């Protein structure tokens, strides 16, 4: 999975499945634009990502997560709850604004 951390007044953690990077998914008026400049940072394993998500959640970060594997990893890390995500063309995504 690809992970990029954006620092501003609040940290934003962008995560996407490897195969979605650079793609645009559209369904009606809904759109997911998985731009490389936003998501392409460091490639991480599931275990590395779980540790990062838990650490950043304690620091009050925001999360932008796209893709089946990435959303499942966020669920496993307990930063989201079951069925808290949405889908566009079958691709799950979730925004966490703690």
Q: What is the pTM of this model?
A: 0.93
Exposure string (b/e) for 62-91, b if CB count within 10 Å is 16 or more? bbbbbbebbbbbbbebebbeeeebeeeeeb
pLDDT digits (tens, 9 = 90+) for 20-62: 999 999 999 999 999 999 999 999 999 999 999 999 999 989 9
Percent of the chain surpassing pLDDT 70: 99
- Structural contact between residues 37 and 6, judged by C-beta atoms closer than 8 angstroms: no
- Residue 98: predicted pLDDT: 67
- Residue 83: predicted pLDDT: 87
- Grade residue 81 by pLDDT with cuts at 50, 70 and 90: very high
Per domain, the residue ranges of the chain are: 2-97
Q: 3.40.50.261, 3.40.50.300, 3.30.1240.10, 3.30.1860.10: which CATH number matches 2-97?
A: 3.30.1860.10
- Residue 9: predicted pLDDT: 87
- Structural contact between residues 20 and 34, judged by C-beta atoms closer than 8 angstroms: yes
């Amino acid at each position: 999975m690809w992970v990029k951390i954006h620092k501003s007044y609040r940290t934003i953690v962008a995560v996407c499945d490897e195969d979605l990077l650079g793609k645009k998914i559209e369904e009606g008026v809904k759109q997911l634009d998985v731009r490389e400049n936003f998501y392409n940072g460091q490639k991480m394993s599931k275990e590395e990502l779980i540790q990062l998500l838990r650490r950043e959640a304690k620091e009050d970060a925001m999360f932008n997560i796209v893709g089946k594997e990435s959303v499942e990893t966020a669920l496993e890390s307990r930063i989201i709850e079951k069925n808290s995500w949405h889908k566009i063309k079958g691709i799950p995504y979730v925004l966490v604004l703690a």
